[in-house]
Chain A
Amino acid sequence: MKNFISLFFIVFAGIAISWFGLLVVGANSLSPSEEFETTMVVAGDDVIITGHEGLAARGEQVYRALACAACHTQQVRRPGYGGDFERAWGSRQSVARDYMLQDTVVLGTKRLGPDLTNVGARHDAEWFFKHLYNPGSLSEVSNVPSYSFLFTEREMSDGNSSNSLKLEGNDIPEEGFEVVPTDDAVALVAYLQSLNLDYDLPESKRIK
């Protein structure tokens, strides 16, 4: 390896082989296709894989902008491998097909918070809003910081707005004021609600 060309070629070949073998082949094998379809019938039910659309798609951008993936994952490991299944983070393993139409896939690498793959099935919108506004206000103990900057406190014009938060204790705003979510909060909650694994796939069926 004394020659510029041969050294250049060795390094070039090494990186090219791994790039092609892993990423190019991987991208081809996991693109939507006849073998790898997005609509199918499983156990008599129509299954249609979707990406995040409309408000949830905007919410996905908020999720990324707030870097939620620094502490949260979106992947459920198979039963028997880690405690994901026992912790009720999903009733089945998440597989490649679940993500195939998502514009940006945020699997995450760290769990300082629970996995969110199936979080939409666990809570309703009101819970999400309260949790984001003041995590301590809910009965669950949580390490997540407050995202109160996603809400505004404003004077009521004509009674409570339909979207104002039903707060308790110290969170209750002054008389005549109310706390309402911003557009970002509404989108983020729509996104979180859209996260669920409540359907079966041929390669991964729910375990009751």
Chain B
Amino acid sequence: MESSLTQSGTSAIDSSAKAPVLVYLFSALKWLFFASIFGYLASWKTHNPEFLNGWSFLTVGRVQAVYTTAFVYGFGCNIAFGMGLWLISRLSGESLRYTIVLIIAAFVWNIALTVGLVGIFMGHLNAFEFLELPSYVKLPLLLASLVVSVWGLLTFKNRKNADVFASEWYLLAAFLVFPWIQVVTQVMLFTKPAPGVVQALVASWVASNLVWLWFGSIAVAGLYYLIPKLLGKQILGYGLAKIGFIVLIFAGSWMGAAKLVGGPLPAWMITSGIAASLLMIIFFSITGINLFGTVWKHRSRICDNGILLFVGFASLALILSGIGVLLVSLRGFAEVTQFTIFLDAHRFLILYGVFSMTMFALIYYSFPKLLGREWAMDFMISTHFWIAFIGILLVVVPLAIGGWQQGAAMSDASVPFADIVRHASYWMVSRSMAWIFLTIGHLCLILNVLATLRPECEAIVEELTRTEDTSAGGVES
């Protein structure tokens, strides 16, 4: 880790990373706000489909695709790029070079994404979950993410620190996997589509790797970095961390097929996914002990620092998501939960509870360091946490219970289908309530960022394009 470096070394690294990381951060926050509105709308439409109905572009399926895409590719990828680059340069003790290329990549990514979202509104969407973006924007997206990946890998390759920390394995894996799965998507689904149900298998493989090997890796990297930093303590059982990583790479990458249990695919494919999911017990146990175990051991200090709340929650959510992975891969359990809102609860727990909460923690940790200035509203950090906490509970608990009931009722043919959907709707109302909380949480973060940047709001554009150290921090005019 960079503790061996002098303070001036760290600030030189931060100043090299400042411009590109802030561009990705601001893009992520912009999309987060956009996704909040569409998350609310998409949720509302699932229990009240006639709401704002009557135009093809606001059809329930398209609004859902817009929300998912804005959240995953807008907020998720931008923040993963930004925080991933910052972490890799910090941990490598190596400045980011030629950052203008990274900034151009950010603009390419975000413009292509905007075009893609307009395309989805117009109906140019694909029917695969997480891969809804029209195929005509896939190439610019691939190129932009390839730039980030190459920069991340080269920064690691040229590292000054001899020690390689667990976070770096995960970052390297993420940077390598993300372009790969995009190429697989493009080639095997659109350029030369795979035959028949193999398309569903490809889509499931890509979605699973997007969640676990891309977002999951970035989140775990962030947690491995933040927990020892914030607590000033070593990771519990760090010697085992390597095994967890190897299991994620070799077993985690096979999990996708388990999602298709009961589907029209050869049994060996689904069995391979189930076996991989069971092997992942090793990853979840080790990473759970490493991360949550360390936080739990020092739990008396968790309320000292708002960022620790985010980190503690995310590492607990990682364990709970792991239990979820094991349960929904079992054939008997999946018989009930397959095709229900239970899977929405699980996915949300991973993408929001684990990934987004870790990213919020990283933002709260890195932003003052990049800017050389404290948060304007420090108290808002724990406020954001508790609001987000309520929001997550309001999504995950009702959807898990409602999803289980939905699945159990679907197996009983004497219950009319419309009654099942109506009953599930009551639970889904809770998700719409949750989006109000989540959105307020997002606004806490965005307002805090804006308040902290107030002294230089006018000069922001100039700030973004400058790559040298400005050391403009904290000067009130």
Task: Select B60's contact among A65, A70, A78, A142, beta carbons within 8 Å.
Answer: A70
Q: Assuming the A-B contacts A2-B164, A105-B199, A110-B343, are A96 and B264 also in contact, with contact meaning beta carbons closer than 8 angstroms in the complex? A: yes
Task: Select B127's contact among A22, A75, A104, beta carbons within 8 Å.
Answer: A104
A15 engages B177 (CB within 8 Å): yes
Instruction: Select the stretch in B265-273, B348-356, B463-471 that faces chain A.
Output: B265-273
Task: Select A26's contact among B180, B198, B245, B421, beta carbons within 8 Å.
Answer: B198
Q: Assuming the A-B contacts A10-B249, A81-B335, A114-B417, are A18 and B259 also in contact, with contact meaning beta carbons closer than 8 angstroms in the complex? A: no
> Is A30 on the interface with B (CB-CB < 8 A)?
yes
> Is B193 on the interface with A (CB-CB < 8 A)?
yes
Task: Select A87's contact among B213, B263, B417, B422, beta carbons within 8 Å.
Answer: B417
Task: Identify which of A19, A32, A66, A87 gathers the most chain B CB atoms within 10 Å of its CB.
Answer: A19
B340 engages A23 (CB within 8 Å): no
Interface residue ranges of B176-192 to A (CB < 8 Å): 176-177, 180, 184, 188
CB closest residue in chain B, given A113: B421
Residues of A within 8 A of B272 (CB): 21-22
> Is B54 on the interface with A (CB-CB < 8 A)?
yes
Tell me, rounded to whole Å, the shortest Cβ–Cβ distance linking A207 to chain B: 14
> Is A93 on the interface with B (CB-CB < 8 A)?
yes
> Is A145 on the interface with B (CB-CB < 8 A)?
yes
Q: Assuming the A-B contacts A4-B157, A81-B262, are A22 and B201 also in contact, with contact meaning beta carbons closer than 8 angstroms in the complex? A: yes
Q: Assuming the A-B contacts A11-B177, A14-B253, A143-B422, are A105 and B266 also in contact, with contact meaning beta carbons closer than 8 angstroms in the complex? A: no
Tell me, rounded to whole Å, the shortest Cβ–Cβ distance linking A173 to chain B: 16
Task: Select B196's contact among A10, A14, A68, A100, beta carbons within 8 Å.
Answer: A100
A145 engages B60 (CB within 8 Å): yes
- In the complex, per-residue mask of B410-446: 1 if CB is within 8 Å of any chain A CB, else 0: 1111001111011011000000000000000000000
- In the complex, per-residue mask of B123-163: 1 if CB is within 8 Å of any chain A CB, else 0: 11111010010000000000000000000010011000011
A19 engages B421 (CB within 8 Å): no
Tell me, rounded to whole Å, the shortest Cβ–Cβ distance linking B143 to chain A: 20
Interface residue ranges of A106-146 to B (CB < 8 Å): 106-114, 140-146
Give the distance in Å from the alpha carbon of A118 to the alpha carbon of B65 in the complex.
26
> Is B299 on the interface with A (CB-CB < 8 A)?
no
> Is A42 on the interface with B (CB-CB < 8 A)?
no
Tell me, rounded to whole Å, the shortest Cβ–Cβ distance linking B268 to chain A: 9
B188 engages A73 (CB within 8 Å): no
Task: Select A67's contact among B62, B197, B417, beta carbons within 8 Å.
Answer: B62
> Is A27 on the interface with B (CB-CB < 8 A)?
yes
Residues of B within 8 A of A102 (CB): 196
Residues of A within 8 A of B257 (CB): 22
Q: Assuming the A-B contacts A27-B198, A83-B411, are A67 and B424 also in contact, with contact meaning beta carbons closer than 8 angstroms in the complex? A: no
Secondary structure class of chain B's binding surface, majority of residues: helix
Task: Select A19's contact among B55, B173, B184, beta carbons within 8 Å.
Answer: B184
A23 engages B249 (CB within 8 Å): no
- In the complex, per-residue mask of B211-249: 1 if CB is within 8 Å of any chain A CB, else 0: 001000000000000000000000000000010011001
Q: Assuming the A-B contacts A1-B169, A14-B253, are A65 and B198 also in contact, with contact meaning beta carbons closer than 8 angstroms in the complex? A: no
Residues of A within 8 A of B209 (CB): 15
> Is A167 on the interface with B (CB-CB < 8 A)?
no
Instruction: Select the stretch in B19-27, B45-53, B72-80 that faces chain A.
Output: B45-53
Name 29 A/B residue pairs within 8 A (Cβ), A-sorted.
A1-B164, A8-B153, A11-B177, A15-B249, A17-B253, A18-B254, A19-B184, A22-B201, A22-B254, A22-B257, A23-B198, A27-B198, A30-B195, A63-B127, A66-B59, A67-B59, A67-B60, A67-B64, A71-B60, A75-B264, A83-B413, A94-B264, A98-B264, A104-B126, A104-B199, A105-B196, A105-B197, A110-B341, A146-B50
Which 9 pairs across A and B sit closest by C-beta, in order of nearness?
A: A67-B61, A86-B413, A65-B123, A14-B249, A70-B61, A145-B49, A18-B253, A100-B196, A141-B418
By a beta-carbon cutoff of 8 Å, the part of chain B in contact with chain A is 45-46, 49-50, 53-56, 59-62, 64-65, 123-127, 129, 132, 153, 156-157, 162-164, 169, 172-173, 176-177, 180, 184, 188, 193-202, 205, 209, 213, 242, 245-246, 249-250, 253-254, 256-257, 259-260, 262-266, 269, 272, 331, 335, 338-341, 343-344, 410-413, 416-419, 421-422, 424-425
